[in-house]
Amino acid sequence: MKGLKRKKIVVFLDYDGTLSPIVDDPDRAFMSSEMREAVREVAKCFPTAIISGRSRDKVKEFVKLSNVHYAGSHGMDITTAPTSDNEVDAVSFQPAKKFLPVIQQIREVLEEETRKVEGAMVEDNRFCVSVHFRHVHERDLDKLEKKVETVLERYPDFHITSGKKVMEIRPTINWNKGHAMEYYLHTLGHTNEDDVVPLYIGDDRTDEDAFKVVIQMRGQGIAILVSSIPKNTRASYSLKDPSQVLAFLLRLVRWRKLSSSSITNPLP
């Protein structure tokens, strides 16, 4: 990280597959205590936000830290961290708020329509709905996909995106994780500052929107993909799994604490 000593680093992190491993049961995607402590220390050194496809409440429940900013539903539910122990998170921006009643209606319909597909699971992520098929037999995948597509035909203002063993139903608005990252940079007072370096770590294709913003930051942003296999990505660096993310975050903290002594460490 040579050359970053006098820069203002702002850290952005995905959750699933980045801070926690991908697991069979999405309700049990817990982060380790070591990872939690590492993120806590990172947030002491740099402004830090977690931008997840999960609902904001769910990811906050998993992370359990008060000194980070949380954005759920792929950045459609944004809050800033409290400035004191007595302050609760303030809802900063919800660009898809008007869609909430319809989103809940879609969730209910999907739960009913997918009930007979063994292994299918519908997750309420507040501003989007996820249909998990990790436990669905291969012979039933086409049937499940057609059921979801048929439901969406009734809702022209929504679309389907694909993730890791999941279909996500989202309102069709011009907003994604990249926009959420830009919103945070603006809210935190880092817009158009030449010494700001956004650092984004994520594993999902939805993180590519954030990587795109990072590389447009005058060439000084850092985009890191988490993947055990080579992928077509906008990211310039990669880490294999959450264990390597943990090691990198610990090195980042150590570098910051030692930077006054001009000790730097390169990216893995």
What is d(CA 175, CA 180) in angstroms, rounded to the nearest whole number? 8
User: pLDDT tens digits, residue range 28-38?
Assistant: 999 999 999 99
Using a 10 angstrom Cβ sphere, with 0-12 exposed, 13-18 middle and 19 or more buried, the burial of residue 213 is buried
Q: How confident is the model at residue 263 (pLDDT cuts 50, 70, 90)?
A: very low
- 181 and 167, same domain (yes or no): no
Of 147, 171, 195, the last residue of a domain is: 171
User: Are 90 and 102 members of one domain?
Assistant: no
Same domain, 135 and 15: no
The range of the structural domain enclosing residue 130 comes to 97-171
Three-class SS of residue 192? coil
92-133 confidence digits (pLDDT tens):
899 999 999 999 999 999 999 999 999 999 999 999 999 999
Long-range contacts of 142-148 (CB under 8 A, 24+ apart): 143/117, 144/114, 144/117, 144/120, 147/113, 147/114, 147/117, 148/110, 148/113, 148/114
Same domain flag for 115 and 247:
no
How far apart, in whole angstroms, are the C-alpha atoms of residue 10 and residue 217? 12
Alpha-carbon dihedral of residues 247, 250, 251, 252, nearest 10 degrees? 120
DSSP of 51-102: E-SS-HHHHHHHH--SSSEEEEGGGTEEEE--SSTTPPPEEEE-TTGGGHHH
CATH of the domain at 115: 3.30.70.1020
pLDDT in tens, 178-225: 999 999 999 988 877 788 999 999 999 999 999 999 988 766 899 999
* The last residue of a domain, from among 150, 171, 192: 171
Indicate whether this model's pTM tops 0.85: yes
265 — pLDDT class (breaks 50, 70, 90):
very low
| pLDDT at residue 264 is higher than 50 | no
Same domain, 149 and 254: no
On whether both 182 and 248 belong to a single domain, the answer is yes
| CATH number for position 195 | 3.40.50.1000
Q: Which of 113, 147, 171 is the last residue of a domain?
A: 171
Q: Which pLDDT tens digit goes with each residue over 21-60?
A: 999 898 999 999 999 999 999 999 999 999 999 999 999 9
Residues 71 and 132 in one domain: no
**pLDDT of 246 over the 80 cut:** yes
In a domain, 266, yes or no: no
- Position 142 in a domain: yes
Q: Is residue 86 domain-shared with residue 188, that is, in the same domain? A: yes
Both tokens assigned to 82:
């409290």
Catalytic residue numbers? 14
Does 234 have pLDDT greater than 90? yes
Whether 194 and 231 map to the same domain: the answer is yes
Q: At what angle do helices 33-45 and 242-258 cross, to 10 degrees?
A: 30
Residue 267 lies in a domain: no
Q: How far apart are CA 181 and CA 38, in angstroms?
A: 21
Asked if residue 203 and residue 152 are part of one domain, the reply reads: no
Is residue 28 classed as helix, strand or coil in its secondary structure? helix
Helices 208-215 and 177-187, axial angle in degrees (round to 10):
50
Same domain, yes or no, for 66 and 23? yes
Q: What is the largest CA-CA distance in the chain?
A: 62
Rounded to whole angstroms, how far apart are CA atoms 77 and 21? 23
3 in any annotated domain: no
Give me the number of domains the chain comprises: 2
pLDDT band at 88 (very low <50, low <70, confident <90, very high): low
